Chains A and B, each alone.
Chain A
Amino acid sequence: MEQNTAVEEIGAIVPESSVQFLSFTLGDEEYGVTILSVQEIRSWEPVSKIPNVPSYEKGVVNLRGAIVPIIDLRERFNLKHSKYTSLTVVVVLQAVCRGKNRTMGVVVDSVSDVMNIEKNNIQSAPDFGTKVSTEFINGIASVDNRMVMLLDVKKLLKLDGVNEDAGEEDND
């Protein structure tokens, strides 16, 4: 159902046949988020560290007055941490969760492109029975023989729901 919603959302923005995704890379893998969940793309800036948080939560930045938490998606995905460079990019995502607009910056290796993906080409995420793949991945698209994992931003933001109260508090 959620997938559908996403499709719907995408369909609402772009021609029905294709959906625009922002693709980025983590290591060798390419991921994509729907472009409408992207608030902006920023280059890495130093963050204010928050004590007693999971290691992937790097801290917070002040984004034009709004306090935005920053998480390292590599660490979130249990990938090997890489050093932050001037080319490291923070993608600020937004989503509406339980009626609240949530904003969060995720640290990715680099932003690749804005791509139009035919809905036909989107395939469901394979069921590996693993928690990760099933939780965050909406589907996998093949673009120019490259595999792009399409991430569910809501889930991605919701998964932070472990810290939902905190996040809510943060939002407050």
Chain B
Amino acid sequence: MKVNMPVTDKEVIMKDGTILVTRTNLKGVITYANDAFVEISGFALNELVGKNHNMVRHPDMPSIAFQDLWETVQASKPWTAPVKNRTKTGDYYWVEANVTPVYKNGSVVEYLSVRYAPSREQVDAADKLYRELNNTKPTTIRPTGLAKLTKNIKEMSINKKALIATILFLIPNVCSMIESYQTQDMIHLGGVAFLSLIAVMLGYSILSGLLKTITSSQSIFKEIADEQFRNEIDLDRNDQIGDFYRDLYSMQVKLNADLAFSKQVGAESLRIKQALDNVNSSVMVANNNLEIIYMNNTVLETFKNAEADIKTQLPHFDSSKLLGANIDQFHKEPSKQRGMLAALTSTHKAELILGGRTLAFVANPVLDEEGDRIGIVVEWLDRTAEVKIQKEIEHLVNAVKEGDLSNRLELADKTGFFEHLSAGINELTDGIEQAFSEINSAMQYLATGNLSSKITAEYHGVYGECKNNINATIDKLAEIVGQVRESSDFINNASREIAAGNNNLSERVETQASSLEETASSMEELTSTVKNNSENAQEAKKVSTKARGLAEKGGDIVTSAVNAMAEINESSNKISAIIGVIDEIAFQTNLLALNASVEAARAGEQGRGFSVVATEVRNLAQRSAAAAQESKALIQTSIQKVRTGTEFVNETGSALNEIVTGVQHVGDIISEIAAASIEQSQGIEQVNQAVSQMDEITQQNAALAEEASAASVSMSDQSETMTSLLAFFQTAETSGIKRAAIVPAAAIRSSVESQPVSSSPKPSVRTESARVVASNEEDSEWGEF
């Protein structure tokens, strides 16, 4: 008798509706336990399977009960009773145990135990019974003595009972018949006999029918228990037996359907299981006690592979004993993990490092239809190789990042994807190294000035572009160096020419400076002359103004004279007219005298005296006429003279007017001259300033020319240096060709210095030039040289 200790008083209540199922072989060894049983028992599945069922036995249970159980089941009879079981931790739980043998092809192959949750009354009654049994220690719990007799009578076979009943029935009838026979009441006798016969026959018929039904039903039940569902059942009967058969038939069909459904579900589960068995993912399922209840092949293989490594950390680890074991064994401190997993309601991802192995797992709760968790599915991934190669690749990539291209990934210890990946990365690194070494060598050549070396290997993509660009760079550099060389030669020559030119310039600027000084003094003289001129012009202007006044006055006088002359002329004309009258009178007088003479002549001797008078008159008239003629002539002469005089005076007047305008003009001109002189003076002042500025500028120019000279020498130096620097480069064209000899800058400098730039530089010029140079250095205009 196995006694499992210790025990506690703590009862674990079985949930209603839960069924605890176990299968045991004929020796009572557990071959199967369902999850509910595993869960409530507190044992791991692998702790249960293969063990005797008595490991869950509670010490309070009387052994006679189990004896009865075994006796019952070994008699191929089902057994039922409330049973108190012990959990692993010592707690107890009550079940209503139902144990039945399982037939296979007509013989018992195993026992099936199905446990239901018992009612409290059952528990109390059983508890009481078991306490008594434990106290009395009976040899059997089966009824004994009278009870056994009663029971035996009660359990007598129907045939026997029927026979007894028939006999008991027939006894009075037979008595009655005998009595009738004795009385020769044959009708009564015949009627009783007939009715008894009928009753017996009917009773026999009923009984035999019932028995037959029971027998056939029994065989059908056995068939059903043996999973044979195609039993022929008579469904056409209309009596209670017919109803019985129909119900039986319904049960058979229902069971068949349920079994088919269960088989389908089982097949599906099996299919999934087998699928899971064969998937590459490592899948493990644990129940709520975190006992491993399923492992697929991959996870087995994974752990097998990892076993040696894991053992270094967990010495008790055994990959072959994982199934049924607790997940805790993967952890050194299982409590934490257990707590976490017990509370698992959603996906949990974590990584374990066991003995150098990196194991990643993803735990998911498995829920039943009610949403209660019934287990945990864990997906394992041995990332050791991955992590290793990850580290290797990381190391390699870091090395490549740091520029160390010598590292390669080891291919020997890798297979499959990682081998391909590693080989690919190695090829990549090779490619990069080759490209960089080529670029490096090309750049080294470039660094040593060799422009004839190029990258010749074929590259594609960015490398090709890089190669082309580098080659193009080298080509372009070579071309530029060639051009720069030409330019530097040119600059060299040009700088020498500039130096010489600057010397010339310097001298000329000096000459210019002295010329400008002379010019400045001349300009000063000129200024005084012009000022003089201006003053004289002012004086002349005054004089001309005066002359103009005088001329205007003369003009007035002339006008007066003209007027006077006109008056004279007028008077003369009047005189002339008067003389004309006189002359007329003289003429008339003459005519009269002539007429008188004529008359006197006509008169003859008497007219002689008259003739004399007439002659005298005529003489007077002629004298008068002559005098008048003379006067007229004189007056005419006078008029003529006056007219001439008037003309002269008029001419004088106009001449004076002309003089006035002339003088005015002269005045204006003199004013203009004066203004011009002033302007000239200002202009000369400006010219003076300009000349002095020019003087300054020229002196600055002299300084600049000096600077330029020095700068050009420096430039010559620089160009020489540049040329010598350029000689560093060896292009394909020039490599091996010695550069043409370059005139050393020192020669130029000596030639420049032999011609002093400034023969007598003034201190002011010096300071000025220094300032100018300073400012120019700021402007960096000359700084370029």
**Contacts of B618 on A, CB cut-off 8 Å?**
113-114
Among A38-46, A67-75, A150-158, which stretch is in contact with chain B?
A: A38-46
Contact at A41–B594, with CB atoms within 8 Å? yes
Which of these, B584, B590, B601, contacts A20 with CB under 8 Å? Answer: B601
Given A20-B601, A36-B602, A87-B587, answer yes or no on A114-B595 (Cβ-Cβ < 8 Å).
no
Q: Which of A13, A39, A86, A114 gathers most chain B CB within 10 Å?
A: A114
Could you tell me the distance between the alpha carbons of A86 and B590 in the complex, rounded to whole angstroms?
Answer: 13
Contact at A40–B587, with CB atoms within 8 Å? no
Contact at B598–A40, with CB atoms within 8 Å? yes
Instruction: Name the interface residues of A26-50: CB closer than 8 Å to any CB of B.
Output: 35-36, 38-43
Instruction: Tell me the smallest distance from the CB of A31 to a CB of chain B, in Å.
Output: 15
B588 in contact (CB, < 8 A): yes
Contact at B591–A41, with CB atoms within 8 Å? yes
A89 in contact (CB, < 8 A): yes
**Contacts of A22 on B, CB cut-off 8 Å?**
594, 597-598
A111 in contact (CB, < 8 A): yes
A143 in contact (CB, < 8 A): no
B604 in contact (CB, < 8 A): yes
Could you tell me the distance between the alpha carbons of A40 and B591 in the complex, rounded to whole angstroms?
Answer: 9
**Contacts of B595 on A, CB cut-off 8 Å?**
40-41
A14 in contact (CB, < 8 A): yes
B615 in contact (CB, < 8 A): yes
Could you tell me the distance between the alpha carbons of A86 and B586 in the complex, rounded to whole angstroms?
Answer: 12
Contact at A43–B587, with CB atoms within 8 Å? yes
Contact-size category for B? 10 to 19
Q: Which of B584, B591, B615 gathers most chain A CB within 10 Å?
A: B591
Given A13-B604, A20-B601, answer yes or no on A114-B588 (Cβ-Cβ < 8 Å).
no
**Contacts of A86 on B, CB cut-off 8 Å?**
584, 587
Contact at B587–A114, with CB atoms within 8 Å? no
Given A13-B604, A114-B615, A114-B618, answer yes or no on A89-B591 (Cβ-Cβ < 8 Å).
yes
- In the complex formed, the residue of B with least CB distance to A87 is B587
Q: Is the interface of A mostly helix, strand, loop or mixed?
A: strand
Could you tell me the distance between the alpha carbons of A158 and B588 in the complex, rounded to whole angstroms?
Answer: 30
Instruction: Tell me the smallest distance from the CB of B583 to a CB of chain A, in Å.
Output: 9
Instruction: Tell me the smallest distance from the CB of B679 to a CB of chain A, in Å.
Output: 71
**Contacts of B584 on A, CB cut-off 8 Å?**
86
- In the complex formed, the residue of A with least CB distance to B591 is A41
Instruction: Tell me the smallest distance from the CB of B316 to a CB of chain A, in Å.
Output: 187
Interface string of B569-613 (1 = CB under 8 A from A): 000000000000000100110110011011001101000000000
Instruction: Tell me the smallest distance from the CB of A153 to a CB of chain B, in Å.
Output: 13
Given A43-B587, A87-B587, A114-B615, answer yes or no on A14-B601 (Cβ-Cβ < 8 Å).
yes
Q: Which of A36, A38, A89 gathers most chain B CB within 10 Å?
A: A38
Contact at A35–B598, with CB atoms within 8 Å? yes
Contact at A111–B588, with CB atoms within 8 Å? no
Could you tell me the distance between the alpha carbons of A89 and B584 in the complex, rounded to whole angstroms?
Answer: 12
Instruction: Tell me the smallest distance from the CB of B393 to a CB of chain A, in Å.
Output: 155
**Contacts of A87 on B, CB cut-off 8 Å?**
587
**Contacts of A113 on B, CB cut-off 8 Å?**
618
Which of these, B590, B604, B615, contacts A111 with CB under 8 Å? Answer: B590
**Contacts of A36 on B, CB cut-off 8 Å?**
601-602
What is the total number of residues of chain A having a CB less than 8 Å from a CB of chain B? 18
Contact at A111–B598, with CB atoms within 8 Å? no
Contact at B602–A111, with CB atoms within 8 Å? no
**Contacts of B604 on A, CB cut-off 8 Å?**
13
Could you tell me the distance between the alpha carbons of A35 and B598 in the complex, rounded to whole angstroms?
Answer: 6
- In the complex formed, the residue of A with least CB distance to B622 is A113
Given A86-B584, A114-B618, answer yes or no on A42-B601 (Cβ-Cβ < 8 Å).
no
**Contacts of A111 on B, CB cut-off 8 Å?**
590-591, 594
Given A13-B604, A86-B584, answer yes or no on A114-B591 (Cβ-Cβ < 8 Å).
no
Could you tell me the distance between the alpha carbons of A14 and B598 in the complex, rounded to whole angstroms?
Answer: 12
Contact at A43–B588, with CB atoms within 8 Å? yes
**Contacts of B591 on A, CB cut-off 8 Å?**
41-43, 89, 111
Instruction: Tell me the smallest distance from the CB of B293 to a CB of chain A, in Å.
Output: 182
Instruction: Tell me the smallest distance from the CB of A164 to a CB of chain B, in Å.
Output: 26
Could you tell me the distance between the alpha carbons of A13 and B601 in the complex, rounded to whole angstroms?
Answer: 7
Could you tell me the distance between the alpha carbons of A35 and B614 in the complex, rounded to whole angstroms?
Answer: 14
Given A40-B595, A41-B595, A86-B584, answer yes or no on A35-B601 (Cβ-Cβ < 8 Å).
yes
Could you tell me the distance between the alpha carbons of A14 and B611 in the complex, rounded to whole angstroms?
Answer: 12
- In the complex formed, the residue of B with least CB distance to A34 is B601
Instruction: Tell me the smallest distance from the CB of B383 to a CB of chain A, in Å.
Output: 164
Interface string of A158-172 (1 = CB under 8 A from B): 000000000000000
Instruction: Tell me the smallest distance from the CB of B678 to a CB of chain A, in Å.
Output: 72
Instruction: Tell me the smallest distance from the CB of A19 to a CB of chain B, in Å.
Output: 10
Which of these, A13, A14, A114, contacts B594 with CB under 8 Å? Answer: A114
Interface string of A1-32 (1 = CB under 8 A from B): 00000000000011000001010000000000
**Contacts of B614 on A, CB cut-off 8 Å?**
114
Could you tell me the distance between the alpha carbons of A13 and B604 in the complex, rounded to whole angstroms?
Answer: 5
**Contacts of B602 on A, CB cut-off 8 Å?**
13, 36
Instruction: Tell me the smallest distance from the CB of B596 to a CB of chain A, in Å.
Output: 9
Q: Which of A14, A20, A35, A39 gathers most chain B CB within 10 Å?
A: A35
Contact at B601–A41, with CB atoms within 8 Å? no
**Contacts of A114 on B, CB cut-off 8 Å?**
594, 597-598, 601, 614-615, 618
**Contacts of A40 on B, CB cut-off 8 Å?**
595, 598
Instruction: Tell me the smallest distance from the CB of A27 to a CB of chain B, in Å.
Output: 19
- In the complex formed, the residue of A with least CB distance to B599 is A40
Instruction: Tell me the smallest distance from the CB of A79 to a CB of chain B, in Å.
Output: 22
Instruction: Tell me the smallest distance from the CB of A151 to a CB of chain B, in Å.
Output: 16
Instruction: Tell me the smallest distance from the CB of A93 to a CB of chain B, in Å.
Output: 11
Contact at A41–B598, with CB atoms within 8 Å? yes
**Contacts of A14 on B, CB cut-off 8 Å?**
601
Instruction: Tell me the smallest distance from the CB of A84 to a CB of chain B, in Å.
Output: 14
**Contacts of B601 on A, CB cut-off 8 Å?**
13-14, 20, 35-36, 114
- In the complex formed, the residue of A with least CB distance to B619 is A113
- In the complex formed, the residue of B with least CB distance to A37 is B598
Instruction: Tell me the smallest distance from the CB of A61 to a CB of chain B, in Å.
Output: 16
Could you tell me the distance between the alpha carbons of A86 and B614 in the complex, rounded to whole angstroms?
Answer: 22
Instruction: Name the interface residues of B265-301: CB closer than 8 Å to any CB of A.
Output: none
Interface string of A75-106 (1 = CB under 8 A from B): 00000000000110100000000000000000
- In the complex formed, the residue of B with least CB distance to A114 is B597
Could you tell me the distance between the alpha carbons of A89 and B587 in the complex, rounded to whole angstroms?
Answer: 10
- In the complex formed, the residue of B with least CB distance to A39 is B598
Instruction: Tell me the smallest distance from the CB of B586 to a CB of chain A, in Å.
Output: 11
- In the complex formed, the residue of A with least CB distance to B597 is A114
Could you tell me the distance between the alpha carbons of A134 and B595 in the complex, rounded to whole angstroms?
Answer: 29
Instruction: Tell me the smallest distance from the CB of B603 to a CB of chain A, in Å.
Output: 9
Instruction: Name the interface residues of A94-138: CB closer than 8 Å to any CB of B.
Output: 111, 113-114
**Contacts of A43 on B, CB cut-off 8 Å?**
587-588, 591
Instruction: Tell me the smallest distance from the CB of B24 to a CB of chain A, in Å.
Output: 200
**Contacts of B590 on A, CB cut-off 8 Å?**
111
- In the complex formed, the residue of B with least CB distance to A42 is B591
Could you tell me the distance between the alpha carbons of A113 and B598 in the complex, rounded to whole angstroms?
Answer: 11
- In the complex formed, the residue of B with least CB distance to A40 is B595
Instruction: Tell me the smallest distance from the CB of A45 to a CB of chain B, in Å.
Output: 13
Could you tell me the distance between the alpha carbons of A41 and B594 in the complex, rounded to whole angstroms?
Answer: 7
Instruction: Tell me the smallest distance from the CB of A46 to a CB of chain B, in Å.
Output: 17
Instruction: Tell me the smallest distance from the CB of B617 to a CB of chain A, in Å.
Output: 11
Could you tell me the distance between the alpha carbons of A10 and B615 in the complex, rounded to whole angstroms?
Answer: 19
Instruction: Name the interface residues of B617-648: CB closer than 8 Å to any CB of A.
Output: 618
A–B complex contacts, Cβ < 8 Å, 10 sampled: A22-B598, A36-B601, A36-B602, A38-B598, A40-B598, A41-B591, A86-B587, A111-B594, A114-B598, A114-B614
Question: Closest 9 A-B residue pairs measured CB to CB?
Answer: A114-B597, A35-B601, A38-B598, A41-B594, A20-B601, A41-B591, A41-B595, A40-B595, A35-B598
Interface residues of B (CB under 8 A from A): 584, 587-588, 590-591, 594-595, 597-598, 601-602, 604, 614-615, 618
Given A41-B591, A41-B594, A42-B591, 15 other A-B residues pairs in contact with their CB atoms under 8 A: A13-B604, A14-B601, A22-B594, A35-B601, A36-B601, A38-B598, A39-B598, A41-B598, A43-B587, A86-B584, A86-B587, A87-B587, A89-B591, A114-B594, A114-B615
